[in-house]
Amino acid sequence: MVLPATPKSWYLPTKPHKFCPGCGHGIVLKALGEAIDELGIQDKTVFGCDIGCSLLSWNFFACDSIQTHHGRTTPVMVGIKRARPELITIGYMGDGGGYSIGSQHLLNAAVRNEKITVILVNNTNYGMTGGQMAPTTLPGQKTETTPYGRDPEITGYPTKGPEFVAALTSDGAYVARGTVSKYKQLKRFIKNALQNQIEGNGFSFVEALSTCPTNWRTNAQQTWSFLEDEMEKYFPVGEFKSPLGKGEK
């Protein structure tokens, strides 16, 4: 069997990984692994993962890693960074962890310009708990808790994370939204977000639009179409804020 090339910073004893077939997490984590390799930061990186599908990334890397609680990855990474500023801290979470239960932490870490990197995977639902509505569920989208489709009159409109993080952060912050359908761009955004932390500029945040065929109940073609035709229309992709040079829209 010929295996595809894997990033050096991946932890091979835990491969193949446990994400569902067609899940976008693997693509985000590959981009993150390659970025870690290229920046040469594997030995001083601490990776913290939230509860939910993000948890499956816990021992994904050959980097020191910590499981936290649902929504609480941001403050744990803040604590590590404040205690040991020389470490590179990456908080990895889903849309529920970042925008719902942990939103006060994300918001305040952004306002304080904490010098950590947060990577948030947006797949428009709570995957691990069985496909409930997330803050990012699109209007009309069916989930286990919106069986007739999300009605914005009742539940509001989907959270636009990078937009609010960009609005809250001050100079030095890096904010972008990528998508697993544009791998090279996503990897560039993640690498920029890490570079921004290495330079000590400020808070770094990347939302990655991702896929969840298991809970969406979609085949490959439908999955990709939902990502590119529905999600990317609602959630514009690009850099919202970058101290590293000219922002890319």
Partner 1 sequence: MQKVIEKAGKAFLTGNEAAAWAALAAGAEIMFGYPITPQNEIMHYWTRLAPKYGRGFLQTEDEISAGFTVCGAVQAGKKAFTATAGPGNTLMQEPFSMAEAMRLPLVAIIQQRGGPSSGTVIYSQQEVTLTTFGGNGEGHRIVYSTASHQEIYDYVIKAFNTAWKYRFPTFVLGDGYQAKMREPLVMYDPEEKGMEMVKPYPLVGLEGKIGEGREPQHLCNIYSMEEELYEVVMKFAAEYEAIAPEVVEYEEKNCDDAEILILAHGVVSRAADDAVKALRAQGIKAGYFRPITLRPFPGRQLREVIAKSGAKKMLIAESAYGQFDRLVKQEIYGETIPIYNLFMPGVGIIDYDIVNKVKSIL
Stretch that binds partner 1, among 61-69, 167-175, 183-191, 204-212 (CB under 8 A): 61-69
- Binding mask 86-105 toward partner 1 (x if CB under 8 A, else -) reads -x----------------xx
Q: For residue 168, state whether it binds partner 1 (rule: CB under 8 A).
A: no
Q: Cα separation of 102 and 96, whole Å?
A: 8
Q: Cα separation of 135 and 119, whole Å?
A: 16
**CB of residue 109 to partner 1, shortest distance in Å:** 8
**CB of residue 224 to partner 1, shortest distance in Å:** 31
List Cβ neighbours of 235 (8 Å cut-off, separation of 6 or more): 122, 136, 158, 160, 177, 207, 209
**CB of residue 73 to partner 1, shortest distance in Å:** 9
- Binding mask 11-30 toward partner 1 (x if CB under 8 A, else -) reads x-------------------
Q: Cα separation of 175 and 230, whole Å?
A: 22
List Cβ neighbours of 154 (8 Å cut-off, separation of 6 or more): none
Q: For residue 42, state whether it binds partner 1 (rule: CB under 8 A).
A: yes
Q: Cα separation of 29 and 139, whole Å?
A: 28
Strand partners, 89: 46
Stretch that binds partner 1, among 75-83, 146-154, 218-226, 231-239 (CB under 8 A): 75-83
**CB of residue 20 to partner 1, shortest distance in Å:** 16
Q: Considering beta carbons, is residue 108 or 185 the nearer one to partner 1?
A: 108
Question: How far is residue 101 from each of residues 52, 218, 233, measured CA to CA in Å?
Answer: 12, 27, 26
Q: For residue 173, state whether it binds partner 1 (rule: CB under 8 A).
A: no
- Judged by CB under 8 A, the number of residues near partner 1 is 36
Rg over CA atoms, the chain? 17
In our burial notation (b when 16+ CB lie closer than 10 A, e otherwise), range 113-126 reads: bbbbbbbbbbbbbb
Q: For residue 113, state whether it binds partner 1 (rule: CB under 8 A).
A: no
Q: Choose, by CB under 8 A, the member of 77, 165, 190, 209 that binds partner 1.
A: 77
**CB of residue 64 to partner 1, shortest distance in Å:** 4
ω into 16 cis (within 30 of 0): yes
Which positions touch partner 1 (CB under 8 A)? 11, 42-44, 46, 48, 51, 55, 58-59, 61-69, 72, 74-84, 87, 104-105, 107-108
